[in-house]
């Protein structure tokens, strides 16, 4: 429209309406091209909040607009040129309104996502404090038991039962070692999370196959480590419990190590049924999106420019994170 006004002023108020339609066709095609670039550009991560189906529905409007402009441009009815001009301005206005609506939708989705992440982070902090309190209570009970056990060892030694005291001491030492740290990655936060989840698996009678490495040089913040590990392992434990209730076999495969200066975290767990994965989230059959924890994991992955791959079949769910 700015081009139209500029040319109109330069020609002293005389311009053909078909030139205006030709300019609209060119500009609208340009807008569609820019939208495609924005849709598939990796730097526009916020546009990923709109699904492919929604993008297709949105593109129907500008494409229909271009088709309408072309039909009006090749129309031989000169009496309808003013009507065509009115319709073309209206179609442009509709496209602008729709683009503004789409932008507002993206911003709204981003605000909702931030709110969900904030809420989940708060829950993670609360859960972390509860876990620490539970560990402290367990250690307090163990210390009470150790006091009685030490008294038993002392009595055995006084009565001359040295071999029995030595055997009892060895078993006690082994139990303390297992209780303190069954998994050691040379990173205190990773150790705390993995050992907590490992104890939970043992209590629920879930088997686990581990492959962990030295994570001393891991660059993630403590809160991000908790988000990354806890959410994926909690999902695995939850699904494994469902399998056990159906008298199935539950085995969780966990890999966490650094390879070629990249952190690789992979989890495989059994499922009772296949779930649909859409936009790095689990979608139920009713169309409701679940797996808020996966959105939190995705946020950590995006922050460091990593990759997350999710897959699921009738028997197994897999999640791989590379940072």
Residues 177-207 pLDDT 10s = 555 556 888 888 888 888 888 888 988 999 9
Token reading at 168: 């009892």
pLDDT at position 180, please? Answer: 52
321/311 Cα distance (integer angstroms): 12
Using the predicted structure, report yes or no on whether residue 288 has a pLDDT greater than 60: no
* pLDDT-above-90 percentage for the chain: 15
226 pLDDT band, cuts 50/70/90, is: confident
Range with lowest mean pLDDT among 81-85, 157-161, 210-214, 272-276:
81-85
Q: What is the largest CA-CA distance in the chain?
A: 119
Q: Give the residue-averaged pLDDT of 316-323.
A: 93
pLDDT level of residue 163 (50, 70, 90 thresholds): confident
Q: Is the pLDDT of residue 282 over 90?
A: no
Cα distance between residue 23 and residue 29, in whole Å: 10
Whether 267 has a pLDDT exceeding 90, the answer reads yes
Name the more confident of 56 and 227. 227
Would you tell me how many other CB atoms lie within 10 Å of the CB of residue 213? Answer: 14
Residue 289 above 50 pLDDT?
no
Percentage of residues in the chain having pLDDT higher than 70: 73
Lowest-confidence pick of 80-84, 150-154, 233-237, 313-317: 80-84
- Assess whether pLDDT exceeds 80 at residue 231: yes
**Residue 176, pLDDT above cutoff 70:** no
Give the mean model confidence (pLDDT) for residues 204-215.
91
The pLDDT, as a whole number, for residue 286 is 43
Q: What integer is the mean pLDDT of 246-263?
A: 90
pLDDT score at 322: 93
Cβ contacts of 1 within 8 Å, gap of 6 or more: 89, 92
Joined tokens for residue 61: 């409007």
The residue whose two tokens read 């060895």 is 170
Residue 137 near residue 145 (C-beta atoms within 8 A): no
Which of 54-63, 139-148, 218-227, 244-253 comes out lowest in average pLDDT?
A: 139-148
Whether the pLDDT of residue 247 is over 70: the answer is yes
What does the pLDDT look like over 111-148, one tens digit per residue? 777 777 677 666 666 666 666 666 667 667 777 777 77
């Amino acid at each position: 429209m700015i081009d139209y006004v500029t040319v109109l002023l330069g020609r002293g108020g005389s311009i053909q309406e078909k030139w205006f339609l030709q300019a609209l066709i060119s500009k609208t095609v340009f807008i569609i091209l820019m939208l495609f670039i924005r849709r598939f550009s990796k730097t526009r991560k916020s546009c990923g909040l709109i699904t492919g189906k929604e993008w297709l529905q949105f593109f129907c409007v500008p494409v229909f607009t271009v088709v309408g402009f072309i039909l009006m441009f090749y129309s031989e009815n000169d009496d309808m040129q003013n009507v065509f001009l009115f319709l073309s301005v209206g179609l442009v206005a509709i496209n602008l309104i729709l683009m503004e609506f789409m932008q507002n939708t993206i911003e709204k989705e981003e605000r909702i996502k931030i709110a969900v992440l904030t809420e989940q982070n708060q829950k993670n902090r609360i859960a972390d404090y509860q876990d620490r309190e539970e560990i402290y209570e367990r250690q307090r009970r163990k210390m009470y038991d150790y006091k009685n056990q030490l008294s038993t060892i002392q009595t055995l030694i006084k009565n001359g039962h040295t071999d029995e005291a030595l055997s009892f001491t060895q078993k006690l030492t082994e139990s303390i070692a297992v209780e303190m740290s069954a998994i050691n990655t040379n990173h205190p936060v990773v150790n705390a999370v993995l050992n907590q989840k490992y104890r939970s698996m043992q209590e629920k009678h879930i088997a686990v196959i581990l492959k962990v490495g030295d994570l001393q040089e891991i660059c993630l913040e403590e809160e991000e480590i908790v988000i990354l590990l806890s959410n994926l392992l909690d999902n695995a434990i939850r699904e494994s419990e469902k399998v056990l209730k159906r008298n199935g076999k539950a085995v969780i495969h966990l890999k966490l190590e650094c390879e070629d200066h990249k952190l690789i975290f992979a989890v495989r767990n059994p499922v009772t049924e296949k779930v649909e994965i859409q936009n790095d989230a689990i979608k139920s059959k009713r169309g409701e999106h679940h797996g808020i924890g996966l959105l939190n994991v995705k946020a950590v992955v995006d922050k460091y420019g990593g990759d997350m791959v999710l897959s699921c079949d009738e028997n197994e769910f897999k999640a791989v994170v590379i940072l």
